[in-house]
Structure 1
């Protein structure tokens, strides 16, 4: 059950932090500079939102596979344990060897030293022997190094040599679109959007875990996520959901809805995580439907319709309410939603795809392949800066249901300035100690030996789920800054089975005929009470 109160924030906690506001700002600026300030402001002011990171958001649909630590030695010796056909996948370059090494040390220390899953490294040019030797020294797990085919990496020659291509990149750079002027970034997004899972080295596997150079893990993962996903019928796992920058994808949803319409697709219920619904009123009156875009519009707009029609039918031009509504309608414009297509709008939420644990066939299937080819034809991977994260998310929304997706809330993860780090579990449920949640650490590889003086873990809490997490507690968790997207995710976890049974196809929330009949009765009753 949620313990989340959406309307009431922990007031004294806010006040406590605000009392030290000046000191915290100075410390933050000295230690990390301006990058941390927006996170700090979001944490201390918060706009009255509750902190998701303080709450237990487990439901019957999804929650951590385990809370706290698992006895990994016993887990691996269990006769029901089966190692999955899975791999890590990383796209990188020779000059990123230091950042790659940082990632490998972190994932080995926190997970793979015990499970020994193989690695696949991909590059658009051959890896140097120096790079291979350096990375192979970091793990006992098998490693494969592959080169991306030029046709998969480069944009088609007729595109690459065109004036429109160079002009599009310059225009994006001039407008300050993040990475918009970097050709290599466009290539990377295109490759991860629809081609990485076709690479022969990746095709060997059923499951993959995507890694990036220069990422850090904060918690120990003492169980096998691939196996637990298979046991739970989960197909895609994420650790961060957040909104995309609008100007990187201004036309992505337009083409996505066009693809859905042309192919008459039946959408999965996950579609609702990424879209806003404007199909509010069930009616054949297109003008009326266009004026009703929110539930709060229904009674008002139908009251307006009833009053105007009654005044015109009665011929009484002095009927005050009808006249007032008529004047108001004549002065009002039909609401314009620039990005509304088929009564839906992309809300910009997406899974941050630099972390993914998933089955390969969530992308390697006919629908997603067709979707990627359709987007490729539209040129958005270079005309705009379509990232693989929103493309993956919308593609998954078409084909998956909410229950197919798992939130790896217990995996602490940082990439760039964004991080998620869960709270450790203290082994307490309903006030009773039920488990030794934080088991002692042991290394299976001497390279992962930890100095206990420098690796003290965060204190466990009742609602925690992490195992031996050591977090930068002065940084704001993305759960608390990407509030809107987290709220959408938790709302879907609480939705009824009957509601989700419709998949991603929204039903109108009100019937115009039913509401109009009720409003007309109320209006006529009110007229009868008024003195003549």
Structure 2
């Protein structure tokens, strides 16, 4: 089990909700501690790392620890191949990177399971592209072209001054990919249109791939089937924080959509939000002045002293007067990104890898959400990514139990990677389905660990695992799996205790 105490987590959440000065002080203390610890003890293994821990929970854990016999698995009478496909949006000029991705997923999974591929492009694929890719797999492949309306922004927007100004402004401010129109199009397409393509709609499940990705572990079971067996609807392998300025207003519009439609969100929503509903009270003024647990007693002490002075009518009540004057002069605390007592914590599933049911997005509610976001113009006014849009949409629709963390699947995209440790007792010899997937003797798996989950993973341990660098998001995921969410503090109970102490001290 995790060594991070629940008390530490709750303290962390209090600090995360407090004002910026408090947070800066805490970060400074942590930074100094890290520097001193690094100078006095260079052994980084002493530090807590999620990658060393068993984070399995009753509601979610890896389907198999280590390897299983794939040939026996496929021969089992209970095995049923699912109506599923890989999906990739790409371009002709990315052929070499696409081949690299296909070779990796074929070697580590699809050589045994033969799931089909769907490749999508905003222009027709070349004959060379199709021919070379078909030579990389025995699985069937389909190549589709996007409808212009699905790929392009509406003409009246595209030709407007506001559109070009927004992209230029994002570029000037250094927002990653903010000045690239094609990137905005890609994010918009994956946010709410990819699952409507006829080639995708033929399937019940999809596994998203990207050009130039790499898999590190053998996947010896069928993820689609195991998700269906366990009633999982969405699977991820990386969770990390988004860049703030790419989604500055996304949460505001999302909360507006929820409010307008009077939606009751799923429990997965808690993974992506900080909750400012600290107090259970009908006093709106009091609630607005409490933004973290550490605000509770000071604000209630202030209230008790003022109420006592007003109830007794004593104009010489020095403490009551001091509190009353102080409250009248105090500025209302402002949390600029707080809406309906909640704030987006920027965590999101990295959607360049996702295994999911097509209808987790292709449904009336999610389609309405996407259309609402489309009307706000955030896919071009800002640089809303499909990953945070997917994540917040899923948060509205799903419970935490509906989601699976594919912790045993090693994956790299760009500079970010997740590579699990091999399971110490769950390794089996590698048996390729085709000669071209044979491995040299030097291509041996990494060492095994008791808490490992991977099968024949080959990891570059010089690179950090995203589990250990995206600490806050991983911590929130495990916390929701392993602990119950704290209810709001009962303001009346705390006020009565403070009032008792106040009256007996005077």
2:493 maps to 1:514:
yes
CA distance in 2, matches of 1:17, 1:414: 28
1:331 Cα offset (Å)? 4.0
Residue of structure 2 equivalent to 1:39:
none
Q: How do 1:255-266 residues align onto structure 2 when only pairs under 5 Å count?
A: 255-266=253-264
CA distance in 1, matches of 2:312, 2:263: 48
Residue of structure 1 equivalent to 2:431:
442
For the 8 Å contact 1:3–1:56, the answer to whether it is kept is no
Report SS of the residue matched to 2:372. Answer: helix
For the 8 Å contact 1:92–1:123, the answer to whether it is kept is yes
Residue of structure 2 equivalent to 1:451:
440
Match of 2:467 among 465, 474, 479: 479
CA spacing shift, 1:54–1:146, aligned 2, 3 Å? same
Residue of structure 2 equivalent to 1:469:
457
Give the CA RMSD over aligned residues.
2.2
CA distance in 2, matches of 1:15, 1:86: 52
Deviation string 1:46-95 (CA, Å, 9 cap, x unpaired) is: 9x962111100001111100001010010000010000000000000000
CA distance in 1, matches of 2:434, 2:301: 72
Give the total of aligned pairs: 482
Q: How do 1:25-424 residues align onto structure 2 when only pairs under 5 Å count?
A: 50-424=48-422
CA distance in 2, matches of 1:383, 1:322: 50
Report SS of the residue matched to 1:472. Answer: coil
CA distance in 2, matches of 1:196, 1:348: 23
Report SS of the residue matched to 2:85. Answer: strand
CA distance in 2, matches of 1:370, 1:351: 21
CA distance in 2, matches of 1:100, 1:401: 34
1:319 Cα offset (Å)? 3.9
For the 8 Å contact 1:206–1:359, the answer to whether it is kept is yes
1:333 Cα offset (Å)? 1.7
Residue of structure 2 equivalent to 1:31:
none
CA spacing shift, 1:82–1:423, aligned 2, 3 Å? same
Relative to the length of structure 1, the TM-score reads 0.87
Report SS of the residue matched to 1:121. Answer: strand
Residue of structure 2 equivalent to 1:432:
none
CA distance in 2, matches of 1:148, 1:351: 25
CA distance in 2, matches of 1:282, 1:57: 32
CA spacing shift, 1:17–1:220, aligned 2, 3 Å? farther
CA distance in 2, matches of 1:449, 1:275: 46
Report SS of the residue matched to 1:60. Answer: coil
Residue of structure 2 equivalent to 1:530:
none
1:480 Cα offset (Å)? 0.6
1:14 Cα offset (Å)? 11
1:515 Cα offset (Å)? 2.2
Report SS of the residue matched to 1:216. Answer: strand
CA distance in 2, matches of 1:59, 1:383: 41
Report SS of the residue matched to 2:451. Answer: coil
CA distance in 2, matches of 1:513, 1:444: 67
Deviation string 1:76-118 (CA, Å, 9 cap, x unpaired) is: 0001000000000000000000100110010001000000000
Match of 2:477 among 485, 489, 493: 489
1:339 Cα offset (Å)? 1.0
CA distance in 2, matches of 1:293, 1:522: 24
CA spacing shift, 1:18–1:441, aligned 2, 3 Å? farther
Report SS of the residue matched to 1:355. Answer: coil
Unmatched 5+ stretches in structure 2 = 10-29
CA spacing shift, 1:450–1:224, aligned 2, 3 Å? same
